[in-house]
A and B are shown apart, each in its own frame.
Chain A
Amino acid sequence: MIYLQLFLSFFKIGLFGFGGGLAILSLIEMEVESNGWMSQQEFVDIVAVSQVTPGPIGINCATYVGYTAAGFWGSVLSTFAIVLPSLIIMLSICKAYFWLTKRFHGNPYFEQTLRMLRFTVIGLVASAALILIKPTNFIDSTSWIIFVSVAFFTVLPNIVKNKATDILSHPILLIILSGIAGYFIYR
């Protein structure tokens, strides 16, 4: 039952997706791959599309995966499923907001868990990148030149902060430039 599978997978991603978009990628990657909904190459392509279109990356992936796996209703269901855990958890937090802030502020169990999750999330993002370093995505040495240049321009504003480095570090610009480079090199 494809609909049930989609629902469960994206519910799980919404429930365990700590740390925002990039951290969620490794969860989506695992679900999509183990269910055979997409190849790794397709996954990278949709991440690229997500980077150049507006909106949260999780919603973009859910919609796209749902659509390719089971058409329009698949995309509706997957998007709903990734949002549902947030609805349940955030509404509970809202209802208990004052109680929660009193109870959990300065609570060592709560604060240490959040702190450790932040460390783990860094590992999750790293794994998402490591899994994608494969011959299907890195076809020759030019791929590595593109990889290093994009990484360089992304990190550059942390070292030299000015208008030019800010513009050059923009992910959309970098994707468009890589696309143009790819067009001229591989066509």
Chain B
Amino acid sequence: MFFQLFWTYLKIGTFTLGGGYAMLPLIQREVVDRQGWIDEEEFLNMIALAQAAPGLIAVNSAIFIGWRVGGWRGVAGAVLGAVLPSFLIILAIATVFAEWKEQPAVEAAFKGIRPAVVALIAAPLVKMARAAKISWLTLLIPIAAALFIWLGHVNPVWVILATIIITLVIVDIVERRRK
């Protein structure tokens, strides 16, 4: 089971560009449709949990499926398979990147790439806001969060903790009133 899961995740990890979300449909095809290791409903529950829990979605889903399919060995195989390709590729790039970047041609190319990267980070915001069913009122939450981090230099960790604590306090007050 270790090798089967390792191989499945290695394959998916090596050939998927675009990170965790892009991996999910491929994982589903392999694990649910082809191998039949878990059923569709459990897979969807798994995605919900992997997204709700902190951490990388690809890694979270690897842990869940690894555990359900093959216990500890399954977890080890799936996580190694998910992590190893990007680790090795980036390591190879990191060893040459610093020197390589000194080249004027590469430096010129990166001058064009940098604003593109910022756009690629910013553009999915519209889709994310729609998917979260944001309203004019709740729009204040991301705006406040962004301003605290951007202009206030607050560590995002505090913003996340504050969100959790404030929500729990408000829900608690509402729940107590209801009783």
Contacts and interface: CB of A to CB of B under 8 A. Distances in A.
B171 interface: yes
6 contacts: A27-B156, A44-B118, A55-B19, A123-B142, A151-B122, A186-B111
Contacts of A109: 167-168, 171-172, 175
Interface in B96-123: 97-98, 101, 104-105, 107-123
Contact of A16 (B20, B156, B170): B156
Contact of A117 (B59, B93, B124, B163): B163
Nearest to B161: A16
Contacts of A90: 49-50, 53, 55, 60, 63-64, 67
A30 interface: yes
Given A158-B126, A183-B108, A187-B105, A17 B55 contact: yes
A143 B20 CA distance: 29
Contact of B86 (A25, A63, A158): A63
A54 B85 contact: yes
Interface string A45-70: 10111111111111110011001100
B32 interface: no
A126 B142 contact: yes
Given A55-B85, A63-B90, A128-B121, A20 B21 contact: yes
B121 A22 contact: yes
A187 B104 contact: yes
A179 B67 CA distance: 42
Interface of B: 13-21, 23, 45, 49-60, 63-64, 67-68, 75, 79, 82-83, 85-87, 89-91, 93-95, 97-98, 101, 104-105, 107-129, 132, 134, 138, 141-146, 149-150, 155-157, 159-161, 163-164, 166-168, 170-172, 174-175
Interface of A: 12, 14-22, 24-27, 30, 41, 44-45, 47-60, 63-64, 67-68, 72, 75, 79, 82-83, 85-87, 89-91, 93-94, 101, 108-109, 112-133, 137-139, 142-144, 146-148, 150-151, 154-155, 158, 171-172, 174-175, 178-183, 185-187
Contacts of A27: 155-157
B10 to A, nearest CB: 11
Nearest to B72: A91
Nearest to B131: A118
